[in-house]
Amino acid sequence: MLLANRGFVNDAHSASSGKGMPGVRVLGTSIACESTVAEDIQSGIDAALGDIIAALTRPLTAEEKNPQVQKEPQPKVAFKGTLRQFNEFFYRKGWGDGLPLYPPTEQAVAEMLTGTDLPRDHVVAKLIPRLGKATVEKIAVNAVMAGALPIHMPVLLATVDALADPKTRFDTFEVSTGSWAPFLLINGPLRNDIHINCSSGALSPGNMANSAIGRAVGLIVKNIGGARKGIEDMGTLGNPGKYALVLGENQEESPWQPLHVDLGFNPDDSTVTVFFPNRYTQHVPAQTSPEGLAGSMAGLGLYSLAGLVVIPDHARIFKSAGWTKQQVKDFIVKNTPRAAGGGGLKNEDFILVVAGGPGVWIGHHQSAGGFENEFVTRKIQLPKNWDKLVARYKTLVPTYVKY
């Protein structure tokens, strides 16, 4: 028998069933999560005690003695109908994210698969909580649903591989109450090939690559991994970053070498770096001297993994004063207040990247600490037909009419 807060009963049933124990008895209690009020804890125990005894002593039913995992049929063609009917059907099935989807027809999936040389049935990773097999074809299906293009497939494949790395702590973050969201930082020539926005409004809606790649990752996590909102993904408040949190480093306007070169990759390599923040803060520094800029970043207090986003204008101020990226990081480490009861900030706890457009704002993507998570970077593998794919979609960009 398993005790759980009553809001986590469905999550508990899903977890036990996913581990081959669908017949486990789960009892929901009224005790608030992580309660520290002794009276509430005691009253919750008292209220549940009778049910606990009954659950432990009641004979097993025939179904409990021989539990069967329910499996829905998986036909090759799931639905036929109009676009509206398709979206209503997929929404009722719980396969969407609340926004309209593109139908993953055989033709659309075949086109998406031109973005990789890997075979359809190649398993990129097994994703928690259901340990779903993220095959190339299943990734392509969800990419189509998200409105992605074949030129986005290499990023998605590298991202799924990175998610499966235990260092990301994806196993905790994607189902936690803390509402972490996967953050993808893209470096290298591919940024320009697929029109990743690295400048003004890079984290806002409006650019297909940023939006569709982030959305596709969310659908992959939900539909292949099985992290469904309120069942396995138990985010207390949720996080809008789960729709799309994709950023390209603005290498062209940065006076420093980009992150992937810092990490030992070649300048001509393209990479994706993955980590899980659950907070995003923007602030304006009080001063724009190097000390003022770095001091404002340190003043917010970085006690865990964080991505600091410095705009090009601020990076040039550092560079003109002779500050290297490492000197900026060293200053932040030295001047960040110590966390109460914890250790000091270390260089490996955060990355410093240049992105965004004109302005004065500094961005902080930060993860609540204590989970021993790390940044994970993967090289993006391009298919042999890459140049042809890029040529096909190179003109697919917004062109705004001047007022």
pLDDT of residue 85: 96
Position 20 confidence tier, pLDDT thresholds 50, 70, 90:
confident
Tell me, yes or no, whether 151 and 40 share the same domain. no
Is residue 287 predicted with pLDDT exceeding 70? yes
For residue 377, tell me if it sits in a domain: yes
Q: Which of 10-19, 181-190, 198-207 has the lowest mean pLDDT?
A: 10-19
Percent of the chain with pLDDT over 90: 67
CB contact at 8 A, 180 and 276:
yes
Tell me, yes or no, whether 172 and 37 share the same domain. no
CB contact at 8 A, 345 and 336:
yes
Task: Quote the CA–CA distance of 128 and 247 in Å, as a whole number.
Answer: 25
Is residue 58 predicted with pLDDT exceeding 80? yes
Mean pLDDT of 380-391: 97
pLDDT mean across residues, the chain: 91
Beta bridge partners of 133: 126
Mean pLDDT of 349-372: 89
For residue 330, tell me if it sits in a domain: no
Mean pLDDT of 129-155: 97
Let me know how long the chain is.
403
Tell me, yes or no, whether 381 and 240 share the same domain. yes
For residue 335, tell me if it sits in a domain: no
Q: Which of 185-199, 296-310, 374-388 has the lowest mean pLDDT?
A: 296-310
pLDDT of residue 73: 66
Other Cβ atoms within 10 Å of 259 Cβ, number: 25
Tell me, yes or no, whether 138 and 207 share the same domain. yes
What pTM was estimated for this model as a whole? 0.91
Mean pLDDT of 292-305: 83
Is residue 340 predicted with pLDDT exceeding 60? no
Is residue 32 predicted with pLDDT exceeding 90? no
For residue 54, tell me if it sits in a domain: yes
How many domains are contained in the chain? Answer: 2
CB contact at 8 A, 196 and 186:
yes
- From residue 156, alpha-carbon distances to 128, 209, 246, 282 in Å are 17, 11, 11, 27
Tell me, yes or no, whether 134 and 271 share the same domain. yes
Mean pLDDT of 132-151: 98
Tell me, yes or no, whether 232 and 138 share the same domain. yes
Convert the pLDDT of each residue in 82-109 to its tens digit: 999 999 999 999 999 999 999 999 999 9
CB contact at 8 A, 127 and 225:
yes
CB contact at 8 A, 357 and 314:
no
CB contact at 8 A, 149 and 396:
yes
CB contact at 8 A, 128 and 147:
no
pLDDT of residue 343: 59
Query: Tokens representing 23?
Result: 């017949």
Task: Quote the CA–CA distance of 347 and 326 in Å, as a whole number.
Answer: 9
Query: Tokens representing 27?
Result: 């009892």
Mean pLDDT of 109-122: 98
Is residue 224 predicted with pLDDT exceeding 90? yes
Mean pLDDT of 179-185: 95
Is residue 53 predicted with pLDDT exceeding 90? no
Task: Quote the CA–CA distance of 78 and 141 in Å, as a whole number.
Answer: 12
Task: Quote the CA–CA distance of 83 and 181 in Å, as a whole number.
Answer: 29
- From residue 284, alpha-carbon distances to 199, 288, 294, 331 in Å are 18, 9, 12, 18
Tell me, yes or no, whether 142 and 271 share the same domain. yes
pLDDT of residue 203: 93
The domain containing residue 24 runs over which residues?
Answer: 2-65
Which of 65, 82, 105 corresponds to the end of one domain? 65
Task: Quote the CA–CA distance of 301 and 332 in Å, as a whole number.
Answer: 9
For residue 127, tell me if it sits in a domain: yes
Tell me, yes or no, whether 132 and 224 share the same domain. yes
Tell me, yes or no, whether 111 and 152 share the same domain. yes
Task: Quote the CA–CA distance of 392 and 138 in Å, as a whole number.
Answer: 24
Measured on CA atoms in the order 42, 46, 51, 53, is the torsion positive or negative? positive
**Is 4 strand, coil or helix?**
strand
CB contact at 8 A, 241 and 210:
no
Is residue 341 predicted with pLDDT exceeding 70? no
pLDDT of residue 18: 74
Task: Quote the CA–CA distance of 228 and 28 in Å, as a whole number.
Answer: 20
For residue 197, tell me if it sits in a domain: yes
Position 339 confidence tier, pLDDT thresholds 50, 70, 90:
low
Position 69 confidence tier, pLDDT thresholds 50, 70, 90:
low
Task: Quote the CA–CA distance of 246 and 152 in Å, as a whole number.
Answer: 12
For residue 176, tell me if it sits in a domain: yes
Tell me, yes or no, whether 60 and 154 share the same domain. no
Which of 65, 81, 109 corresponds to the end of one domain? 65
Tell me, yes or no, whether 17 and 116 share the same domain. no
Tell me, yes or no, whether 388 and 267 share the same domain. yes
Is residue 303 predicted with pLDDT exceeding 70? no
For residue 336, tell me if it sits in a domain: no
